[in-house]
Structure 1
């Protein structure tokens, strides 16, 4: 949390210099009235990758759904480099956006400084750090779908014959690490002796590199792959092994390969933000809780073509744990540490 502390001091100075204490008042009394929006909310999405990418696609899908119902007016920019991200934030704020959504994992401090300059705009940003009470118009979120990842791990543990599972991720940051750990914990419920191969490709969208990394894991004995990135399921399909999907359901594209997927639903997160804006109550908060299974923010995809092919005992365990997660009697551990190969 050292980095977050260094972020807050510039933010306080920015508040005093540029907003005349407006954000300080926000911390004490809630969102300023000017954050309230009547009618459709003008929403802008800023994404560093294509909207087809798993993680971003869920935000985009939720915004498009809200647009279809008339709740929002939605526009977006994709493939925005981190070096350009603050500039694009400012452009949308100047153009009248009332809610700006995106991901600031690679530009935390600069993005927060921009938010401090526009106290009349609500920012809902994917972040590895927490909300800042002194920056009342910026709320954070992340895909806390560890509940669904855990359940998919149970299925993976039941489906592996070699006892060797390969896991390919983008970067070893909290939002990836916690899903991998939850998946591994689920697999260990079935077989505590499973070996894991863990690798990160250093990119959020590089299917060829993810595919090559997966090939190497298959050659090293993996017969089930955790496809945190696009490209992994392609390798699994070509080599005749199984895969577990992440964030979106890719089984329609890989009907004989993808057994199950942990799905992220961004709609509860976006709906909560829109409700807060319309009520004039948007303020610094952690919206990550809306990704939990009990909030409807994640689920296990239907097995589809693999229905009846997963061992019955494993599916019974999945059903029992899912019910316990939803009623609060079982909690999946959140472990943000970088996972290692075993």
Structure 2
């Protein structure tokens, strides 16, 4: 695989989706479709939880019949894909960042099954039944950075991520750009824990950053907000809103909504028009795939200058007059 998503691919709107479509459509269907989710982490994990909750909501609405497997290792992932395909799943969801090649080989063996997978790569033109998606929520991450830049006193901000892959890197860069809108002199401590779900390690890493002067943390992973709460500083959440669990700690969060992505896929499977497309666009703010969480317990505590800039930038993002840069390179400290 040599393809990587770029701004040109994901920012071109509906026309880009049509241009990236390849292959023959699958057969049309009526009634609920059978959807299977395959996840390498627990469904409580931030990123996967958004897919899982969207699928549960679609099942509740009568759109799908949903089953799933969690904590599937990368080595076991292709086997589980095959089992669901053999079992008659119409649409298989998952995240294949560690098994890109193997997953596409499985999809090639089951041309009558639709696959929609979280991936760092664009669709393969030879696989008409294999679509990809990603959490392009850089718009909301940028807005959350404006909040952080307004709330930090020292300008020293700690950032803890899972792995330095595009899906994480672009959100960190967007957050940092937002911070600099309010604090051009801000400095950043950046670290990756080498895991998607290791709260103790994330907490330990965050505490080291606090000891090194950070007074606000970017919580890309679970465990970071625990460190912030324990040490009495603030945190910015990612993908889900955890303020209810940390009412005095989590100021704002960039939220990912998988519902628009899943709805588009379900509609296409039912119509028999599911093809190899890049569904990443449905994660963007313009399509309802990303929002900035309500400030909740921090209402009235965020400087008005930041609130005014957030309102201005959000309106511009939604009407297309302001574009948050998509930077997939690994962020560095400094």
- TM-score relative to the length of structure 1: 0.92
Whole-Å separation in 1 of the counterparts to 2:266 and 2:185: 46
> Displacement of 1:191 after TM fit?
1.1
Q: Tell me which residue corresponds to 2:163.
A: 171
Q: Cα deviations across residues 71-123 of structure 1 (Å, max 9, x unaligned)? A: 00000000000000000000000000000000000000000000000000000
Q: Tell me which residue corresponds to 1:13.
A: none
Say which SS state the counterpart of residue 96 (structure 1) adopts: coil
Q: Tell me which residue corresponds to 1:12.
A: none
Q: Of 14, 22, 27, which aligns to 1:27?
A: 22
Q: Cα deviations across residues 278-298 of structure 1 (Å, max 9, x unaligned)? A: 111100110000000000000
State yes or no: 1:2 paired with 2:2.
yes
Which has more radius of gyration?
1
Say which SS state the counterpart of residue 259 (structure 1) adopts: strand
Q: Of 280, 295, 298, which aligns to 2:290?
A: 298
> Displacement of 1:42 after TM fit?
0.1
Whole-Å separation in 2 of the counterparts to 1:31 and 1:186: 41
What is the RMSD of the two structures over their aligned residues, measured on CA atoms?
1.0
The answer on whether the counterparts of 2:148 and 2:216 sit within 8 Å (CA) in structure 1 is: yes
Say which SS state the counterpart of residue 97 (structure 1) adopts: coil
Say which SS state the counterpart of residue 255 (structure 2) adopts: strand
State yes or no: 1:104 paired with 2:96.
yes
Q: Tell me which residue corresponds to 1:182.
A: 174
Q: Cα deviations across residues 135-177 of structure 1 (Å, max 9, x unaligned)? A: 1100000000000000000000000001000000000000000
The answer on whether the counterparts of 1:46 and 1:100 sit within 8 Å (CA) in structure 2 is: yes
Q: Tell me which residue corresponds to 2:333.
A: 341
Whole-Å separation in 1 of the counterparts to 2:148 and 2:279: 29
Say which SS state the counterpart of residue 318 (structure 1) adopts: helix
Say which SS state the counterpart of residue 251 (structure 1) adopts: coil
Q: Tell me which residue corresponds to 1:9.
A: none
Listed as ranges, the matches of 1:111-260 within 5 Å are 111-260=103-252
Q: Tell me which residue corresponds to 1:280.
A: 272
Whole-Å separation in 1 of the counterparts to 2:206 and 2:26: 50
Say which SS state the counterpart of residue 305 (structure 1) adopts: helix
The answer on whether the counterparts of 1:146 and 1:334 sit within 8 Å (CA) in structure 2 is: yes
Q: Cα deviations across residues 177-223 of structure 1 (Å, max 9, x unaligned)? A: 00000000000011111000000000000000000000000000000
Q: Of 45, 61, 70, which aligns to 1:78?
A: 70
The answer on whether the counterparts of 1:37 and 1:98 sit within 8 Å (CA) in structure 2 is: no
Q: Tell me which residue corresponds to 1:23.
A: none
The answer on whether the counterparts of 1:49 and 1:56 sit within 8 Å (CA) in structure 2 is: yes
Whole-Å separation in 2 of the counterparts to 1:236 and 1:202: 20
> Displacement of 1:32 after TM fit?
3.3
> Displacement of 1:2 after TM fit?
3.1
Q: Tell me which residue corresponds to 2:8.
A: none
Extract unaligned runs of 5+ from structure 1: 5-25
The answer on whether the counterparts of 1:153 and 1:187 sit within 8 Å (CA) in structure 2 is: yes
Whole-Å separation in 1 of the counterparts to 2:199 and 2:121: 27
Q: Cα deviations across residues 290-320 of structure 1 (Å, max 9, x unaligned)? A: 0000000000000000001000000000010
Bigger relative contact order, structure 1 or 2 (CA pairs below 8 A, ≥6 apart): 2
Extract unaligned runs of 5+ from structure 2: 5-20
> Displacement of 1:27 after TM fit?
3.5
Q: Tell me which residue corresponds to 1:15.
A: none
The answer on whether the counterparts of 2:26 and 2:114 sit within 8 Å (CA) in structure 1 is: no
